[in-house]
Amino acid sequence: QVQLVESGGGLVQPGGSLRLSCAASGSIFSINTMGWFRQAPGKAREFVATISWSAGSTYLADSVRGRFTISRDNAKNTVYLQMNSLKPEDTAVYYCAASFRSGRSLRSEYDYWGQGTQVTVSS
């Protein structure tokens, strides 16, 4: 079992920045990759970014590449999503997820999910 707790969401103006955090606990040694997904009202949950827990290699969705960065601090068992140049279309609930396999961009590849944190981009 893995527990994931997101934090750092909030209200930000267009062009602003936020950093989301995801603290993992439990069977952390079994985690292979960590990911971020988001879900806007009335839309399906979509992939944002993923990072290898050991190697630190990353992969980001086209819609956020160049604006968002995913990183991890293994000592703190925490994954971060740095979001810059935010746009209104980035408004969504952001979810952290953990994969015991080689999860990449599909929801089905992830085994555990956090409760989500709201990000609202509005003037």
pLDDT more than 90, % of the chain:
93
The answer to whether residue 81 scores a pLDDT higher than 90 is yes
What pLDDT is recorded for position 55?
87
What pLDDT is recorded for position 114?
97
* Cα–Cα distance measured from residue 87 to residue 77, given in angstroms and rounded to the nearest whole number: 29
Cβ atoms of 80 and 70 within 8 Å: the answer is: yes
The answer to whether residue 122 scores a pLDDT higher than 90 is yes
What pLDDT is recorded for position 19?
98
What pLDDT is recorded for position 103?
82
User: Per-residue pLDDT averaged across 71-79, rounded?
Assistant: 95
Q: How far apart are the first and last CA of the chain?
A: 40
- DSSP state string for 51-119: EETTT--EEE-TTTBTTEEEEEEGGGTEEEEEE-S--GGG-EEEEEEEESS---S-GGG--EE---EEE
User: Per-residue pLDDT averaged across 88-113, rounded?
Assistant: 94
User: Per-residue pLDDT averaged across 77-102, rounded?
Assistant: 96
What pLDDT is recorded for position 102?
83
* Cα–Cα distance measured from residue 14 to residue 37, given in angstroms and rounded to the nearest whole number: 20
Q: Please write the tens of the pLDDT for every residue from 22-70.
A: 999 999 999 999 999 999 999 999 999 999 998 889 999 999 999 999 9
Q: Quote the mean pLDDT of the chain.
A: 96
- The 8-class DSSP code of residue 46 comes to E
